[in-house]
């Protein structure tokens, strides 16, 4: 007896799931964590429903917060990941105009301050940050790792190369990012002790 085409397709899908259930589960798993960027803490946290998943030291703008054109300030409020650039690039790989140049810069290389390793491009969701994408506000790697932990950028959120690579693999297009003047502990449930700290 002939089997209908839809049943054949369904059988093939079931066979793939049975052969590799782990891969199927990974593909289906939702990434529900949000990013919280605390300006006073100079910290970025991945938080999932109040549970701290990971945290990283960062650097926001040395000019303060805001979203005016040519202000070089870090915008506040809720944004989202609109693009990711730098898949599989090595740490320190230079990215210019969102394109890898082929150059790799060492950590704290004298006189060098390019964007490196990965770029997470943000788009604003509110009036107070509506210019963010056009201002090219990124979360990105920097070779100036000695400046991480204090405001030093020109508007973007800077991270160590190893940290931006790790973060890049945990977030996706559409992930929400809250840049705030509040502290990370305001967003984390105190009874959640397990976390992966990335602060050293």
CA 14 to chain centre: 34
Query: What are the domain boundaries of the chain?
Result: 1-30, 31-198
User: What is the enclosing helix (H) or strand (E) of 15?
Assistant: helix 5-19
How deeply is 154 buried, as exposed, middle or buried, from its count of CB atoms within 10 A (0-12, 13-18, 19+)? middle
Q: Is the pTM of this model over 0.85?
A: no
Q: Domain 31-198's class?
A: mainly beta
- Residuewise pLDDT in 10s, the chain (200 residues): 445 544 544 443 333 333 333 333 333 223 568 999 999 999 999 999 889 999 999 999 999 999 999 999 999 999 999 999 999 999 999 999 999 999 999 999 998 999 999 999 999 999 999 999 999 999 999 999 999 999 999 999 999 999 999 999 999 999 999 999 999 999 998 764 555 555 55
């Amino acid at each position: 007896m002939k089997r209908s085409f839809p049943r054949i397709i369904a059988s093939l899908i079931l066979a793939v799931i049975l052969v590799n259930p782990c891969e199927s589960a990974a593909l289906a798993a939702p990434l529900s964590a949000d990013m919280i960027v605390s300006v006073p803490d100079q910290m970025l946290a991945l938080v999932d429903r109040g549970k701290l998943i990971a945290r990283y030291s960062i650097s926001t703008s040395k000019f303060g917060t805001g979203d005016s054109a040519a202000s070089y300030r870090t915008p506040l409020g809720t944004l989202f990941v609109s693009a990711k650039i730098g898949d599989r690039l090595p740490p320190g790989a230079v990215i210019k105009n969102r394109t890898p140049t082929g150059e790799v810069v060492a950590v704290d290389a004298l006189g060098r301050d390019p964007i490196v390793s990965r770029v997470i491009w943000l788009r604003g969701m509110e009036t107070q940050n509506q210019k963010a994408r056009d201002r090219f506000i990124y979360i990105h790697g920097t070779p100036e790792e000695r400046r991480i932990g204090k405001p030093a950028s020109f508007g973007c959120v800077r991270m160590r190369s190893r940290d931006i690579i790790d973060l890049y693999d945990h977030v996706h297009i559409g992930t929400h990012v809250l840049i705030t003047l509040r502290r990370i502990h305001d967003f984390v449930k105190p009874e959640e002790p397990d976390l992966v700290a990335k602060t050293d």
